[in-house]
Structure 1
């Protein structure tokens, strides 16, 4: 059996992908966590390279990949931050889009379940695959453009067994490609994009919900760059922010967590991590940076004060040394003068004594 390496979001960062591939066994299978394209500088090259790897690659759909399909279908507007034009204008555009829309939404094999973002706590691995297959059939069918035109939106945001086909499919897409936080009853939050420490009383990272039904398998996912690398016995978070100047991560899958292998390459910063954040997030990060900088500033001020005190002390010591030297010189001069005066005084007394004897 060939080794399998699960890899985080590429997002058009082909140079980093090539560097990572150079460090992996050439015959290893690759599981890609989705978001192959967008925001990075080489979306077209990345997509073509992944396709060229052939049967070695299994990749699931990410939200950026679905956005590419929707823009290509004419049912969604491109964003200012998109880097999809090279794909949309490519001579083999139709073949590329066709390949992307035939990708799975979830992949389950050898005790590992890969999705792009997350899994609702009410779903087990088999149900995830069943729900994903339903969406995949629609994307691969002749009416895929019409299907996509109805799939974007935040409602419904909570799982129920009696959802309509369209609502169930939209919720499936949102959970598997967009989710970060949810409640115990399966309500997805679409606003919070910070790390796991942004959890509230009710909202938790989807993988920390007690009683999650996929806890008996290892779930590998990407999407959440603010979360960073997380490696637990039953969890692999693989998006380490390549496009933001972080790292591109690969983890060798194994039945035993101790047998895993972590391989990472450093990535150049393509985008500011806060480039697409809202004002609330920016202010929160700014306050955190200020709080973090405060002790540094205090330490620097303290260091500057200590340095000044040290310089002043050295100056005082230097002055004291000079004064001491002057005092020593003065004392020596005074002693010398006193000795001369005593000598003169003795000589004068001797002369007076001699005169008295002569008289």
Structure 2
């Protein structure tokens, strides 16, 4: 790959101070025009969601941030589709004087980004989706979120069904499968159907369930899929998949990985919250 460095960064979830510490590390400052790919969940649960969002926005064209489930939850709250929960830390964004501009920026982020044989999504891709299919389906949701009726588009976002993809799906069913795969999925059946009920330590999942990236004949196995969302899985570095969620908000670390040589940089994140509350 040519050009400036690309640093791929795991879930921030409102942890602004660790983000500042990470961006100030010498390695990340070697290239003053480096680009930063954020794996989604910029905000929520952590103590400084508003400041974190502003910090990423201030990077302007140097930042690529895919949408995660917490980012979509912010949009749903802004649209009146869902009320913030007691563990959410998004009220400061919703009540900010420039809340409309903040929300507009978030809803114009992509759900998938592809360059240099690296596909970044927040959670994963269904086994039957190749890169072109993933980007095409992501763009359907992106277009809806960027349109004038974006609030209405979010009304049917929530729900665990359907658990598999069908090209014939339309409306709410179609949007849910796309959003759930790209922003919520962790485990699948051997046939690639999503499963959301199981929350156990990696390797302790019941028979018949496997990580989405180990489903046989996955169509994106020929490139590298970069994702976050799975703090209990933690750092995973394989040729075909990279997980960068190292649980900063839960007291773990914030991770950055340089694309060209897989240089790893991590910073500590403090005491953190209870990971059993993760969503």
TM-score category, normalised to shorter length: over 0.9
* Aligned partner of residue 74 in structure 2, secondary structure: helix
Q: 1 CA distance for matches of 2:149 and 2:53?
A: 24
Query: Any conservation in 2 of the 1:247–1:264 contact (CA below 8 Å)?
Result: yes
Corresponding position: 1:250 with 2:267? no
Matched with 1:205 is 211
- Whether the 8 Å contact between 1:251 and 1:260 is mirrored in structure 2 is yes
Distance in 2, Cα, partners of 1:178 & 1:196: 16
- Counterpart of 2:15 in structure 1 is 13
Q: What is aligned with 2:35?
A: 29
1 CA distance for matches of 2:39 and 2:128?
22
Structure 1 alignment gaps of length 5 or more? 278-359
* Cα deviation code 1:295-338 (max 9, x no counterpart): xxxxxxxxxxxxxxxxxxxxxxxxxxxxxxxxxxxxxxxxxxxx
User: In 2, Cα distance between the equivalents of 1:249 and 1:84?
Assistant: 23
Of structures 1 and 2, the one with the larger relative CO (CA 8 A, separation 6+) is: 2
Match in the other structure for 2:192 = 186
Matched, 1:174 2:180: yes
Q: What secondary structure sits across from 1:98 in the alignment? A: helix
* Deviation, structure 1 residue 112: 0.2
Structure (1 or 2) with the larger CA radius of gyration: 1
User: 1:265 is matched with which residue?
Assistant: 267
**Counterpart residue number, 1:106:** 112
Corresponding residue number in structure 1 for 2:137: 131
Select the residue among 82, 85, 99 that pairs with 1:79. 85
Query: Residue 308 of structure 1 aligns with which residue?
Result: none
Shift of 1:194: 2.9
TM score, norm. by length of structure 1: 0.74
**CA distance, structure 2, for counterparts of residue 89 and residue 164 of structure 1:** 34
Distance verdict in 2 for CA 1:173–1:11, change over 3 Å: same
Aligned residues: 273
Q: Look up the match of 1:56.
A: 62
> Corresponding residue for 2:73?
67
The structure with the greater share of residues assigned to helix is: 1
Tell me if the contact between 1:34 and 1:59 (Cα under 8 Å) persists in the aligned partners: yes
Distance 1:260 1:274 in 2: 30
TM-score by length of 2: 0.95
Kept in 2, the 8 Å contact 1:192–1:198? The answer is no
The residue that corresponds to 1:147 in the other structure is 153
State the Cα distance separating 1:160 from its structure 2 match: 2.0
Q: Please provide the CA RMSD for this pair.
A: 1.2
Which stretches in structure 2 are left out of the alignment for 5+ residues? none
